[in-house]
């Protein structure tokens, strides 16, 4: 459960925070007034505690302690009013002190939890910022390294040197893909906005299939079922990146055939990627989408499927694996006829 929005209350300075806190203190007075006209000493106990908790969340532990004392005094005064002279002064004072102690313990514990949550959020934000910066800075030296290795290969060298340079080129390429994936992951974590717009689905899929066809030795097919709207409103960049990651994963395992099938069900688009390879190991259908998980040992970054699923979910859809097929399920809205004017077929 994400408690980040709860802890942001403690970060709100100024008049808004002051007014809300004052409102809770007035609420304590109101609860005390109601409590004083009832016949049960414990009828409003939970409300006293809840208002003290609310003050702690909004204004912090210091004002929470003040609210705890205020609550204990108001609660005790309500008891005195309802009980008349039946209780001694010593008992009344003891009740106030006890209730203040209980409230104070609640405030201290809650304050510690909120502070820990805030520290964790700040640490996470720093980590994400570092990841994005490091990935960005790594791209330039990696590109220079790849260019230097390629230049040495072109100039010619001994067979042994060529093998070493080829290995170096492969590792530099892998490192470049990792840096790109890390940067993409960091941007997603920072809430990169989507840009849905009218898109020609057939053209988008054809473009991705043609790209993977140039990289794969397997036969690559595109099958578009009848009933696909000519233009739909989706994020073409996110959809293209999702399909690209899934197709790249499939081409590494395909033996002789790779296929992308596009169909529609009501207001959903289904993209099904299949290949004639061995498929995911049994029991890894969900684990395969976790970050930094590689199941084949073929040099992948372990981020492609994780990025693909997150992009799908950002669009209100999902990406899963069933019956030896990756299925991308996206909600779509058919674009109006006049909503495509002035745009190219790929929606740019």
The pLDDT-based confidence of 110 (bands split at 50, 70, 90) is confident
Q: Residue 158 has what pLDDT?
A: 73
The pLDDT-based confidence of 101 (bands split at 50, 70, 90) is confident
- For residues 342 and 155, the model is more confident at 155
CA angle 7, 1, 191 (to 5 degrees): 75
Q: Are residues 169 and 26 in the same domain?
A: yes
- Is a pLDDT exceeding 50 seen at residue 7? no
Q: For residue 240, give the CATH number of its domain.
A: 3.30.565.10
The pLDDT-based confidence of 84 (bands split at 50, 70, 90) is low
What's the length of the chain? 348
Q: Residue 72 has what pLDDT?
A: 81
- Is a pLDDT exceeding 90 seen at residue 294? no
- Is a pLDDT exceeding 80 seen at residue 95? no
Helix extents (H) in the chain: 4-7, 14-36, 45-59, 61-83, 89-155, 159-189, 201-213, 236-251, 304-314
Q: What pLDDT digit, counting tens, does each position of 135-153 carry?
A: 666 666 667 777 777 777 6
Number of domains in the chain: 2
Q: Are residues 287 and 158 in the same domain?
A: no
| pLDDT, mean of residues 193-199 | 87
Residue 336's domain comprises 197-340
Q: Are residues 7 and 120 in the same domain?
A: yes
What distance in Å separates the CA atoms of residue 168 and residue 172, rounded to the nearest whole number? Answer: 6
Q: Are residues 26 and 169 in the same domain?
A: yes
Q: Are residues 59 and 183 in the same domain?
A: yes
| pLDDT, mean of residues 64-79 | 80
Domain boundary among 142, 162, 192: 192
Q: Are residues 277 and 297 in the same domain?
A: yes
Q: Residue 270 has what pLDDT?
A: 93
Q: Residue 328 has what pLDDT?
A: 94
Q: Are residues 59 and 140 in the same domain?
A: yes
Q: Are residues 125 and 101 in the same domain?
A: yes
Domain boundary among 192, 223, 249: 192
For residue 6, what are the contacts with CB-CB under 8 A and spacing of at least 6?
A: 57, 114, 117
DSSP-derived 3-state class of residue 294: coil
- Is a pLDDT exceeding 50 seen at residue 162? yes
Domain boundary among 142, 172, 192: 192
Percent of the chain with pLDDT over 90: 16
């Amino acid at each position: 459960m994400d408690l980040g929005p709860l802890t942001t209350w403690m970060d709100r300075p100024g008049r808004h925070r002051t007014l809300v806190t004052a409102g809770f203190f007035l609420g304590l007075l109101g609860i005390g007034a109601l409590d004083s006209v009832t016949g049960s000493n414990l009828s409003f106990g939970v409300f006293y505690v809840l208002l003290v908790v609310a003050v702690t969340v909004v204004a912090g532990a210091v004002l929470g302690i003040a609210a705890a004392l205020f609550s204990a005094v108001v609660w005790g005064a309500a008891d005195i009013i309802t009980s008349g002279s039946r209780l001694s002064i010593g008992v009344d004072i003891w009740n106030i002190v006890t209730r203040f102690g209980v409230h104070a313990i609640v405030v201290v514990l809650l304050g510690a939890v909120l502070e820990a949550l805030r520290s964790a959020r700040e640490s996470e934000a720093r980590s994400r910022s570092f990841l994005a910066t490091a990935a960005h800075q790594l791209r330039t030296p990696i590109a220079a390294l790849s260019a230097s290795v390629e230049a040495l290969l072109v100039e010619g060298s001994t067979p042994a040197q060529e093998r070493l340079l080829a290995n170096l080129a492969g590792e530099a390429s892998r490192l470049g893909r990792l840096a790109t994936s890390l940067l993409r992951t960091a941007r997603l974590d920072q809430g990169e906005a989507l840009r849905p717009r009218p898109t020609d689905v057939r053209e988008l899929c054809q473009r991705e299939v043609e790209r993977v066809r140039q990289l794969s030795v397997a036969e690559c097919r595109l099958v578009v079922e009848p009933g696909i709207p000519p233009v739909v409103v989706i994020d073409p960049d996110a959809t293209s990146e999702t399909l690209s990651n899934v197709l790249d994963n499939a081409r590494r395992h395909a033996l002789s055939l790779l296929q992308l099938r596009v169909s529609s069900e009501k207001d959903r688009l289904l993209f099904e990627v299949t290949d004639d390879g061995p498929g995911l190991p049994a029991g890894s259908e969900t684990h395969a989408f976790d970050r930094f998980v590689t199941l084949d040992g073929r040099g992948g970054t372990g981020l492609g499927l994780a990025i693909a699923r997150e992009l799908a979910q950002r669009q209100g859809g999902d990406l899963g694996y069933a019956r030896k097929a990756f299925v991308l399920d996206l909600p779509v809205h058919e674009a109006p006829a006049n909503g495509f004017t002035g745009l190219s077929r790929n929606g740019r």
